[in-house]
């Protein structure tokens, strides 16, 4: 069975390292981006099963990126947004 792929979009290095470690302990494949623009491109290329994204990011914020991802036909995800 293929590993589930999770895209983590986080600009804080320590937070990213923590999330990566926890996810890898549970045997997930982790793809990483440190800004929304790169995250959107990776979502198109990698088609992750789940995206975990910070709201406060440099450049485009996480809410704007979520809106963009929801309307992009190249990204095939179901959405659940947590506040």
42-51 burial, b at 16+ Cβ within 10 Å, e below that, comes to bbeeeebeeb
- 36-48, pLDDT tens digit by residue? 999 999 999 999 9
Tokens 């190249």 correspond to what residue? 74
SS3 assignment, position 53:
strand
State if pTM tops 0.85.
Answer: yes
- 55-65, pLDDT tens digit by residue? 999 999 999 99
SS3 assignment, position 11:
coil
Map out the domains of the chain as residue ranges. 5-71
Q: Domain 5-71, what fold?
A: Rossmann fold (3.40.50)
């Amino acid at each position: 069975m293929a590993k589930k792929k999770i895209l983590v979009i986080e600009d804080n290095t320590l937070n990213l390292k923590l999330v990566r470690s926890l996810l890898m302990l549970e045997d997930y494949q982790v793809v990483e981006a440190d800004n929304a623009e790169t995250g959107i491109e990776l979502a198109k290329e990698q088609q992750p099963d789940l995206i975990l994204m910070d709201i406060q990011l440099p450049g485009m914020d996480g809410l704007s990126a979520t809106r963009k991802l929801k309307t992009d036909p190249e990204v095939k995800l179901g959405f659940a947004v947590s506040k």
